[in-house]
Structure 1
Amino acid sequence: MQGNSVAREDGDGYVLVRLSGEVDLSWSQDVRREVLDALASGAPVGVELSAVSYIDSSGIAALVEGFQAARARGSRFALVAVSDAVRAVLELARLDRVFHLVPAADALLA
């Protein structure tokens, strides 16, 4: 089993929150807190999901809350390098039409 990790990277004009592992109920509050803290910077925020092997509804809820908070602030928020496992869940819930999905962090500035 892969361990869960979250890392924040302050890029050139953006903040990237890198997640890995399984985003489920046991960990989604930490993800939520990290995403909201990143949004407080005022910079565009991306959540990189390339190393996420599983996400449940609580993980999706944390991402939706980040999206809503960014929209309320007028900030840019995107999901970066979405793994196939996460993309399948987003498509099932039709959230791939809601979230801005980008292939790489530098696309946050485009």
Structure 2
Amino acid sequence: MNEVTSEEQGDFTVVRLSGEVDLSWSQQVRQAILDALEREAGVGVELSAVSYIDSSGIAALVEGFQNARQNGRRFALVAVSQAVMAVLELARLDRVFPIVADVEAARAV
């Protein structure tokens, strides 16, 4: 089941994704990330429960990362699943995104 939730933790928001991030709901993912970046100084996108991600999902992550950098905000991918990591590595984005093991590490990025 696809789900996106946001949990505010002070000046940091964790956007948790689960399921398959594809064209059918990547716009919701994009909006959740951008909304969190408008409110908070930092955002971590938790991907441990994502079983599949396509190019539209990757584009949503890239847009969030670029938005954060342009506005001086912190941004990290948290607990990335093997399925997502394989796509990131294939696109060599594992060298671009800050990727951390847990939320505490994301807050320190």
TM interval, shorter chain, is: over 0.9
1:41 offset after TM fit, Å?
Answer: 1.1
TM-score, normalising length: structure 2: 0.96
Q: Among residues 13, 17, 20, which one is paired with 2:18 in the alignment? A: 20
Question: Partner residue of 1:104?
Answer: 102
2:99 is the counterpart of 1:73: no
CA offsets, 1:81-105, max 9 Å, x none? Answer: 0000000000000000000001001
Q: Structure 1 stretches (4+) deviating beyond 3 angstroms?
A: none
Counterpart amino acid of residue 101 in structure 2: P
1:13–1:109 CA contact under 8 A, matched in 2: no
Letter in 2 for 1:44: G
AA of the residue aligned to 1:107 = A
Q: Give the AA of the match of 1:7.
A: T
Structure 2: give runs of 5+ residues left out of the alignment: none
The superposition leaves residues 58-108 of structure 1 with CA deviations (integer Å, 9 ceiling, x where unpaired) of 000000000000001010100000000000000000000000001001112
Q: CA deviation at 1:43?
A: 2.0
Q: Distance in 1 between matches of 2:72 and 2:106?
A: 14
Residue 48 of structure 1 aligns with an amino acid whose one-letter code is E
Give per-residue Cα distances to partners, 1:7-51, cap 9 Å, x unaligned. Answer: 100014310000000000001000000000000013210000000
When the two chains are superposed, the root-mean-square deviation of aligned CA atoms in Å is 0.8
Letter of the structure 2 residue corresponding to residue 21 of structure 1: G
Task: Answer yes or no: is the 8 Å Cα contact 1:25–1:58 preserved in 2.
Answer: yes
Determine the structure 2 residue equivalent to 1:60: 58
Structure 1, unaligned runs of 5 or more: none
TM-score, with normalisation over the residues of structure 1? 0.95
Percent identity, please.
69
Counterpart of 1:93, as a letter, is A
Which residue type is aligned with residue 14 of structure 1?
F
Work out the CA distance in 1 between the residues paired with 2:106 and 2:46: 11
Report the AA paired with residue 57 of structure 2. G
* Partner-residue secondary structure (3-state), 1:96: helix
